[in-house]
Structure 1
């Protein structure tokens, strides 16, 4: 009777295995040892597992990126990877940040465990650099500056997993220190790693806006590299577990806890048996969850490189938590739909707004949050209007916007000359200030300027004209109306300008005019400016001026600054 029952169980088991021949779900026992024809998945045959984890941002409003990396570390540790084989990059300014309601603790989901404890501090603070990141991947200790000195010292049978999470833009990834990490440098490093013969297979998971642009048209097949990205080459990626969403963070948190793509692959890996789940299965599941049912609040997960590697088990790269060994992967989307997500580039505004909303009325904290929000919006206005004006100066009023926004056909890299792109970015920042995590979105516009044959000198001239105000002549100060009138010189002649300059003594006015000490942009132009104003090359700019009327004891007052914009020829 027992023997008969056992036979029935055996037959039923084979039936289940047989119907799964789709068959990325369950493999036959013999197939479990055959990983893409490499002769077995036991520990000896797969070599050493290596991992590089990088969070490329700073600031409490970017909490989620370091939370992602800390979560990834805990997952890999449970999977059996050793600290000596996991290299962690993060600025490490979150866990003990004064804004963190739980000092020394980082969570990656509303009810999540602390993921910060035990995370190695390999490269933190200003040691989180492009140079160190690429040197670690290449195993080049001599190229390192600071940090633990740990590198991926891999051999020909080893498997490497790289996870990067931060802000991005077309062709570029953010870093907490200058310069940015450009797509050509990423792919060049991967090519060098392949040429060195120091890995068997490599998997790269990338969370960033326009992440697809890092590999599209650049990462060739045949290098045994498989990459997936949180977004395609033209869209944002998304933050999740944000204030006001469902599920929402605990009320004391005023920031997003995770990123949609990152949370999707890690929460999947947390519960599934990675000895049987394949890269392709995870890609499909993460793709559905990250698209948020193809809603506006989601992005398109992409895959690049050697797609044939996607049949491999995740175990080869991440190990596997023994607690999940009896879990059979079934593609039932058991993780459920995601909450409403927040555009990566707007997550800082959400933090400042939530901080402002919750702060006591009249408190210093409320004032600080209001100031942070105003400054963030001012910076956005400055960068956007500056780039728009540069396009018009270079290509004309009609053609300029079209040239800057044009996307290249799918499969083509962002730019033909990466050296040109890097040079023009430096030129823009010299004259107009740092792009920042928001301004990076204009990287496609700068790439298009390169593709149109514009050189550094032409870019410098346009940027100087668009962004530099050499003199501000204060005409009058009216304390009763809290208004000051001034003339800015020189300015462009197409009816647009941007005020974003430090103003000091000696700008062509006497002491009696009480020069401002600091200015901030508020709006790009006066909406009430008439067509006649523009025809005569005049327009009005509004800003806030601090320090006007110093000699009358009104230094703390805030004034509206009216800038009368005229062409250089009027002076």
Structure 2
């Protein structure tokens, strides 16, 4: 989740759940009395959308946070009795779309509003394309409707078929949707894991995937409309590039 996204300073989100919890703890605690271990445990307790971990020489966990963040204390302002405004929290994958929607709400120029609407429409169409692509892929490999729904919606409790998972994910990344260029595709990483947990021959899964990926619709960054379909010969690269929301527009 991205936090403090809907701010009045025309800034993007100011952090994720972990970083916001860490900074807010540093603001309210007496750092010359709080140990690194205490801070870690507080942040772990408050962070439920990612896995907070600590590494390295854990013997320093007994040292004070002030040893690392500084000993000078800002004067404490009087605590307000007013309720704090709700923190705006946006799903990370939706931030590019929500930022565009925010720009649209704030923009008064009609030409700019048309441009923003065009960008929103493109991102929505590209996401819909990938959503349908994954449904079609699963239906091509799994024929039972009940299993299809489970694979598309339920996260696996554990990864037990690691060799299959490694090969399938790398093939998807290389020949279908490059995760670096298509962060929205990470939404479906668990679906690839589910396919492997079905214990289907990995060669069959990869063969079906490559067949399905052959006619992927290709587009480039929303600022550069240069090609539309891989079958039109607009790209010579082996792996198609389908950029859906690579960062903020």
Shift of 1:452: 2.6
Q: Could you tell me which residue of structure 1 aligns to residue 171 of structure 2?
A: 427
In structure 1, C-alpha distance between the alignment counterparts of 2:60 and 2:70, rounded to whole Å: 20
Shift of 1:249: 3.5
2:191 aligned to which of 419, 433, 445: 445
In structure 1, C-alpha distance between the alignment counterparts of 2:102 and 2:141, rounded to whole Å: 40
Query: Are 1:242 and 2:5 counterparts?
Result: yes
Quick one: structure 1 residues 300 and 432, their matched pair in 2 at CA, closer, same or farther if it must change by over 3 Å?
Answer: closer
Q: Is the contact between residue 44 and residue 52 of structure 2 (CA under 8 Å) also seen in structure 1?
A: no
Query: Are 1:320 and 2:69 counterparts?
Result: yes
Shift of 1:286: 3.2
In structure 2, C-alpha distance between the alignment counterparts of 1:453 and 1:276, rounded to whole Å: 53
Query: How big is the alpha-carbon RMSD for the aligned residues of Structure 1 and Structure 2?
Result: 3.7
In structure 2, C-alpha distance between the alignment counterparts of 1:400 and 1:318, rounded to whole Å: 54
In structure 2, C-alpha distance between the alignment counterparts of 1:391 and 1:455, rounded to whole Å: 15
> Unpaired runs of 5+ in structure 1?
1-237, 291-298, 328-335, 471-499, 506-519, 521-571
> Unpaired runs of 5+ in structure 2?
77-83, 217-227, 234-241, 243-249
Q: Could you tell me which residue of structure 2 aligns to residue 265 of structure 1?
A: 22
Q: How does 1:354-365 map to 2 (within 5 A)?
A: 354-363=102-111, 365=112
* 1:69-123: CA deviation from partner (whole Å, max 9, x where unpaired): xxxxxxxxxxxxxxxxxxxxxxxxxxxxxxxxxxxxxxxxxxxxxxxxxxxxxxx
In structure 2, C-alpha distance between the alignment counterparts of 1:284 and 1:350, rounded to whole Å: 32
How does the TM-score come out when normalised to structure 2? 0.67
More helix by share: 2
> Of the two, which has the highest radius of gyration?
1
Q: How does 1:340-419 map to 2 (within 5 A)?
A: 340-363=88-111, 365-398=112-145, 399-409=147-157, 412=158, 414-417=159-162, 419=163
Quick one: structure 1 residues 270 and 318, their matched pair in 2 at CA, closer, same or farther if it must change by over 3 Å?
Answer: farther
Partner SS, residue 232 of structure 2: coil
Query: Are 1:460 and 2:206 counterparts?
Result: yes
Shift of 1:319: 1.1
How does the TM-score come out when normalised to structure 1? 0.32
Q: Is the contact between residue 279 and residue 311 of structure 1 (CA under 8 Å) also seen in structure 2?
A: yes
In structure 1, C-alpha distance between the alignment counterparts of 2:151 and 2:98, rounded to whole Å: 31
Q: Is the contact between residue 415 and residue 447 of structure 1 (CA under 8 Å) also seen in structure 2?
A: no
Partner SS, residue 110 of structure 2: coil
Shift of 1:285: 3.8
Shift of 1:374: 1.9
Q: Could you tell me which residue of structure 2 aligns to residue 504 of structure 1?
A: 232
In structure 1, C-alpha distance between the alignment counterparts of 2:161 and 2:208, rounded to whole Å: 22
Partner SS, residue 347 of structure 1: helix
Shift of 1:432: 3.3
Higher relative contact order (CA 8 A, sep 6+): 2
**What is the total number of aligned residue pairs between the two structures?**
212
In structure 2, C-alpha distance between the alignment counterparts of 1:340 and 1:242, rounded to whole Å: 6
Q: Could you tell me which residue of structure 1 aligns to residue 43 of structure 2?
A: 286
Q: Is the contact between residue 404 and residue 445 of structure 1 (CA under 8 Å) also seen in structure 2?
A: yes
